[in-house]
């Protein structure tokens, strides 16, 4: 599959369909300035990891970051032009002391956390009807390539992205990316390295879309290629069954098929990884059960911090080891029903076993990563409060705690994160 050619075909189709559209978003444009937005996000992030089976047993890191996002409108006319721009900055408040940190701020050549970081970036864009083409630094959200936002500052990626919503029920997108800016880096020319094997792809291409059959049923299909590393295919079925005014049953099926491609820099890859999650919501409560399975002798790998939609990818572990099966039970509580809007709690437990990495390609990147009959578990707890009104409206405070225990293939650790966010809308 040549994803670049498919992307060009998708662009042609979208352009053709836009000529048939009676009224698209571009025809409703109010102009470059009138439709502009400028948002500011303050994020204070403290994180501690206590490695229970390591001589370097504790890593503390505390920092404050500010994110500014400017999104212009589009000029009026058949073809609209605009720009998106961002400015990110972070400053160390505490932490380091010679350790490599927790991925919050950049680390210098001597392994010390830097005192501050900053970056500027942006993208140019054009729109025809309801089809948008962007080039520059972006935050793609496709299930096969999505930048992450799990630390102080978000990741960005450099390249082209096309998105089209010409039809109400169908959304399409395609992308070609050549660089990534990691969560603890200010380098916009960073290499597209995979999260686990840490092999570099010169580019990542993808094409796919989502079709909403009804308000309660949607299907997504994607294909992607990390050059000389893998080809990856994705499918998702999301279905909700309303049971009563305050009750519903939801099913979420996700599957990834990964095969080595080109020079196969990560070695031989042939995995089918899937998860099925069922959730029952009743009043203030939500109970979820999930099952996940890796069919293959290598880890399920990905590029970009959020490029994994599997149900058991949680706070610390992805439960994505060779041949691994894992189960999850989760409980969510929304305190608005009890008169405390904005306050919520979450608890989950995940257990993975049957891990066998002894059959991985002996010349590949995953050789020797896991033995036979490995297992692990993780418990996550979270409390979050969002201020509902007043001068501090939308200020959020979140506490996240994780405990992970494993056999020899992974780390035993306790982790705590304290996150305070305050968003401001300036335009």
Residue 247, both tokens: 């009750």
Taking a C-beta distance cutoff of 8 angstroms, is the pair 52, 412 a contact?
Answer: yes
* CA–CA dist 196, 190 (Å, integer): 16
Does residue 289 come out as left (phi exceeding 0), alpha (psi in the -120 to 50 range) or beta?
A: beta
Q: Annotated catalytic, 307?
A: yes
Read out DSSP for 355-367?
A: EE-TTS-TTSTTT
Taking a C-beta distance cutoff of 8 angstroms, is the pair 223, 144 a contact?
Answer: yes
pLDDT, tens digit, 9 for 90 and up, residues 114-123:
999 999 999 9
- Of the residues 50, 115, 149, 228, only one is catalytic, namely 228
Taking a C-beta distance cutoff of 8 angstroms, is the pair 84, 71 a contact?
Answer: yes
* pLDDT score for 348: 98
Percentage helix, strand, coil for the chain under 3-state DSSP, each rounded to 5: 5, 55, 40
- What are the backbone dihedrals phi and psi of residue 13, each rounded to the nearest 5 degrees, phi first? -65, -45
- Of the residues 176, 185, 252, 313, only one is catalytic, namely 176
- The 8-class DSSP code of residue 113 comes to B
Q: What structural domains and CATH numbers belong to the chain? A: 3-425 (2.40.160.10)
* CA–CA dist 224, 235 (Å, integer): 12
Surface-to-core class of residue 110, CB atoms within 10 Å of its CB (0-12 exposed, 13-18 middle, 19+ buried): exposed
Stretches where the chain sits below pLDDT 70 are 1-23, 54-56, 96-99
- Of the residues 275, 288, 307, 326, only one is catalytic, namely 307
Q: Annotated catalytic, 228?
A: yes
* pLDDT score for 394: 97
Q: Look-up: residue for tokens 């979208």?
A: 14
Residues facing residue 281 across a β-bridge = 248, 286
Q: Annotated catalytic, 411?
A: no
């Amino acid at each position: 599959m040549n994803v670049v050619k498919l992307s060009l075909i998708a662009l042609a189709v979208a352009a053709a369909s836009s000529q048939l559209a009676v009224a698209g978003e571009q025809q409703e444009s109010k102009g470059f300035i009138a439709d502009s937005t400028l948002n500011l996000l303050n994020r204070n992030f403290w994180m501690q990891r206590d490695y229970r089976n390591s001589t370097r047993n504790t890593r503390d890191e505390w920092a404050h970051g500010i994110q500014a996002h400017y999104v212009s409108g589009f000029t009026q006319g058949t073809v609209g032009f605009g720009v998106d721009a961002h400015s990110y900055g972070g400053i160390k408040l505490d932490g380091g002391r010679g350790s490599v940190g927790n991925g919050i701020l950049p680390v210098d050549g001597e392994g010390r956390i830097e005192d501050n970081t900053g970056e500027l970036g942006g993208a140019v864009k054009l729109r025809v009807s309801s089809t948008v083409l962007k080039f520059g630094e972006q935050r793609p959200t496709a299930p096969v390539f999505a930048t992450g936002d799990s630390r102080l500052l978000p990741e960005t990626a450099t390249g082209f992205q096309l998105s089209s919503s010409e039809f109400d029920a169908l959304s399409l997108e395609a992308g070609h990316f050549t660089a990534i800016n990691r969560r603890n880096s200010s380098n916009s020319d960073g290499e597209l390295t995979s999260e686990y094997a840490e092999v570099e792809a010169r580019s990542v291409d993808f094409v796919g879309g989502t079709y909403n059959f009804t308000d309660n049923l949607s299907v997504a299909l994607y294909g992607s290629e990390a050059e000389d590393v893998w080809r990856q295919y994705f499918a998702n079925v999301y279905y909700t069954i309303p049971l009563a005014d305050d009750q519903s049953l939801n099913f979420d099926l996700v599957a990834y098929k990964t095969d080595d491609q080109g020079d196969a820099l990560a070695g031989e890859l042939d995995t089918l990884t899937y998860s099925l999650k069922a959730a029952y919501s009743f009043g203030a409560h939500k109970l979820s059960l999930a099952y996940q399975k890796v069919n293959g002798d290598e880890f399920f790998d990905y590029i970009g911090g959020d490029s994994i939609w599997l149900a058991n990818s949680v706070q610390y572990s992805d439960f994505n080891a060779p041949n691994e099966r894992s189960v999850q039970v989760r409980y969510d509580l929304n305190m608005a029903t009890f008169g405390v809007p904005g306050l919520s709690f979450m608890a989950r437990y995940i257990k993975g076993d049957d891990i066998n990495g002894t059959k991985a390609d002996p010349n590949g990147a995953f050789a020797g990563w896991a033995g036979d009959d490995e297992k692990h578990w993780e418990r996550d707890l979270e409390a979050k409060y969002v201020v509902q009104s007043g001068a501090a409206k939308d200020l959020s405070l979140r506490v996240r705690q994780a405990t992970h225990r494993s056999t020899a293939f992974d780390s035993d650790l306790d982790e705590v994160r304290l996150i305070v966010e305050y968003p401001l809308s300036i335009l």
